[in-house]
Amino acid sequence: MKEITQFDKECFEKAISIAREIHANGGCPVGAVLAIDEKILAIGGNERHKLEKKSYINHAENLLIIKNGNVLHDANKQNKKISLYSTLEPCLQCLGTAVINHIDRILFIESDPNGGACNLKHDNIGVWYKEVWPEIIHCPFTDEPKKLMIKFFHEEIERGHIDLPNKMLKLFNAKDDNANMV
């Protein structure tokens, strides 16, 4: 694991706090933080569960980038360092939104065995992507995000949502089994 700074840990703590809050309100517990030059710009969480906003694009990372697009654009033009922190590995859409918006670093705590896209090889998707591809850092320094996800999926099963939560629980368990075999 790459060494993370005290500021990185502060950002992750804020992201975890948001994930706890989202979970307490019945949502999928993913929190994220955007920072520019080691100053927090915004924090947010997954909003797919909100009735008035139900949409597959309402992921924590995506929403932060969309809501702060003008600031991110200006920061990029001023060559400021933009970092995105997440409790869960970004999916393909969030990774794409981050790349297109010139995020310099993506840091995440928990790998997503179902939808994580941070190991995507970008060699075959155009020259521009090689020029703007962010540094991606997996920082598994705590298992709290994973525990929140597992608890959420168990609660989803109790609410009668069976298929996806069962699939996710199996994937998280399989990931643990593979890690123990190494």
Active centre residues (catalytic): 61
The amino acid sitting at 148 is L
* Cα distance between residue 27 and residue 157, in whole Å: 14
137 CB-contact burial (10 Å; exposed 0-12 / middle 13-18 / buried 19+): middle
- Rounded to the nearest 10 degrees, the angle between the axes of helix 163-181 and helix 144-158 is 150
